[in-house]
Amino acid sequence: MSKTGKLGFVVRASDRSGELDINAYEMGALQMNPKATVTVIFHRRLERPGQGTRPRLRAMADQGIDVIGQHVDTRRRRS
């Protein structure tokens, strides 16, 4: 689906299942386009204002990344 061959991926820091998803995402991309690249953003749940994921996603788009995947943590936490 990528026209540029530049892909992005967003995952929570220090998450083993997220690392496995990154590898699978990259392997799939390379099967379709051996010259594809994947740029990864690691994020934490609590970020400082202006330091969050959204500005980094915009930076990815500015670099020509046209497809972004993500690893979503679906576990519910109780307070």
Q: What is the pLDDT of residues 20-73, one digit of tens each?
A: 889 999 999 999 999 999 999 887 665 565 566 788 889 999 999 999 998 876
Q: Is residue 77 part of a domain?
A: no
Beta-carbon count within 10 A of 41 CB: 16
Helix (H, G, I), strand (E, B) or coil at 8: strand
**pTM higher than 0.85, yes or no?**
no
Instruction: Report yes or no on 36 lying in a domain.
Output: yes
Q: Which two tokens stand for residue 47?
A: 């970020």
Question: What pLDDT score was predicted for residue 74?
Answer: 58
Q: Does residue 79 belong to any structural domain of this protein?
A: no
Note down the domain range covering 48: 6-70
Q: Is residue 63 part of a domain?
A: yes
- DSSP-derived letter for residue 35 is T
Count of domains observed in the chain: 1
Q: What is the pLDDT of residue 23?
A: 93
